[in-house]
Amino acid sequence: MIDEKNRKVALVTGASGGIGREIAEILLVKGYDLLLVARSLDKLEAIQAEFKTIASARDVAVLQADLSQSGAPKMIFDFTNENNISVDILVNNAGVGMSGAIDEYSEEVLLKMILLNTFSLTALCKYFAPQMKARRSGNILNIASLAGYQPVPYLAAYSASKSYVLNFSDAIAMELEEYGVSVSCYSPGHTDTEFWDRAEISKDNKFYGQKTRVSPKDVAQGAVIKMFKGKLSSIYGFKNNVMAFGSGISPFRKLNARIAKKLVSK
Ligand SMILES: NC(=O)c1ccc[n+]([C@@H]2O[C@H](COP(=O)([O-])OP(=O)(O)OC[C@H]3O[C@@H](n4cnc5c(N)ncnc54)[C@H](OP(=O)(O)O)[C@@H]3O)[C@@H](O)[C@H]2O)c1
């Protein structure tokens, strides 16, 4: 169990695959002990075993949690306290997408997505920030999305949930900066993970298709670099930055939404 002094611990949510797994490996190699959180215990245990072969001196703990349940953040926080795990880096990466027109949404799936993408991320910050403030050190890395920079028809609730992550992260970064705690928000563009299958978006879609997707390793690398630099909000990739900049300067919200609709309906 992770309890020795002078060890640095990173808690990574959504660490059972995709970008979260890659972020966890980068932090492992940088010398962090890990607490890996997701629902799939079998995948977490396989990664735990693999990470032991990469860095045998590091402690890698796993915790099964469903962050679409409102009690999960408190359960994770209690687990860290019961096991004397002091979290130096909190990576709020777990998230899911949901495609389709608003009238097609299932209420249950919608509620779970919003709880996962917004509430749990918020609550984990709320629980772990006080310890970081008291120690006058710590990093929080929240994973948003390029989709959070503009309204995205047919991904409306998902893109709005990521706009929440962006605004929330920048706001708490201001609250925590005088305590030596940095909050970074990193926005991937299209990345080659299970995200697309889970969101029910086809590989053949012209705008979101396979050819537009980059490696989760590269995205994770970018996120960790920005986090250690203490950058507030940043976006992976030049093209994505141009797109976000373009939608940011337009004073015409309707025009923005129309352009997005045209692009995603191709
Ligand atoms: N891929 C992209 O193109 C893209 C673009 C922009 C932003 N993002 C964001 O990047 C983050 C990581 O996504 P990814 O692309 O790596 O997708 P992914 O491969 O589907 O990974 C998602 C991770 O979140 C975990 N997760 C999902 N639901 C959960 C729940 N209810 N409770 C706890 N953990 C849960 C999954 O593990 P379990 O299923 O085992 O729980 C998995 O470890 C997300 O926040 C996503 O919105 C992705």
Q: Fill in the DSSP letter of residue 178.
A: G
- Give the pLDDT score at 113: 98
Domain range list for the chain: 9-264
Nearest atom within ligand 1 for CA of residue 190:
3
Helices 156-176 and 121-135, packing angle to 10 deg: 10
**Cα 59 to chain centroid, rounded:** 22
pLDDT mean by block of 10 residues, the chain; 266 residues: 72 98 98 98 98 97 98 98 97 97 95 98 98 98 97 96 98 98 98 94 80 94 98 96 84 84 79
Render pLDDT for 6-16 as a digit per residue (tens, 0 to 9).
799 999 999 99
- Amino acid identity of residue 129, one-letter, is A
Residue nearest to atom 44 of ligand 1 (CA): 95
Residues near ligand 1 with C-beta < 6 Å? 13-20, 38-40, 43, 65-68, 93-97, 116, 143, 145, 188, 190-191, 193-195, 198, 216
Question: What atom in ligand 1 is closest to the CA of residue 97?
Answer: 47
Question: What are the CB-based long-range contacts (under 8 Å, 24+) for 128-131?
Answer: 128/11, 128/77, 128/87, 128/90, 129/172, 129/176, 129/181, 131/86, 131/87
What pLDDT shows up at residue 2? 47
Our answer to whether residue 186 is catalytic in this structure is: no
Hey, whose CA ends up nearest to atom 42 of ligand 1? Answer: 14
Distance, in Å, from the CA atom of 180 to the CA atom of 266, rounded to the nearest integer, reads 46
Distance 109 CA to ligand 1 centre (A): 15
Supply the pLDDT for residue 4: 59
Using CA positions, which residue lies closest to atom 1 of ligand 1? Answer: 191
Active-site entry in 162, 164, 186, 236: 162
199-240 tens-digit pLDDT: 998 877 778 878 889 999 999 999 999 999 999 999 999 999
Q: Output the CA 93–ligand 1 centroid distance in Å.
A: 7
Of 108, 121, 128, 178, nearest to 148 by C-alpha is 121
Asked about 162 being catalytic, the answer comes back as yes
Phi/psi at 97 (nearest 5 deg)?
-105, 170
Q: Select from 256, 248, 154 the least CA-distant residue to 207.
A: 154
Distance CA 65, CA 94 (A): 11
DSSP conformation class of 195: H
User: Looking at 32, 127, 149, 158, which residue is catalytic?
Assistant: 158
Fold of 9-264: Rossmann fold (3.40.50)
In what order do the strands lie in the sheet containing 233-235? 60-64, 33-38, 9-13, 89-92, 138-143, 181-187, 233-235
